Amino acid sequence: MLSFDEKLAIISSFPELHRKDVSLGRVNFHYEESVYDKTVVVHHLHPNGNGFVYGGFLKGYETNDKGLVNIRDIQ
């Protein structure tokens, strides 16, 4: 599994995503130009490696009620 810093580096390489630090060292990334109401594409990325990515249009992954996929479930 990638480290927290490696995940941050990959996500930060997309200039259209805006980082927002939240509580407990977690990080969210927003896509402000989204045509949908939902702008969060990375939710609560945590230094322990856990977090969620928006997967509302991905096939083959189960999403929670917010349309998010747990990062640990993605391979």
* Per-domain boundaries in the chain: 4-73
Which of 43, 46, 72, 44 has the alpha carbon at shortest distance from 56? 43
Determine contact, residues 73/61, Cβ cutoff 8 Å. Answer: yes
pLDDT for the residue numbered 72: 86
pLDDT for the residue numbered 75: 65
pLDDT over 90 (residue 58): no
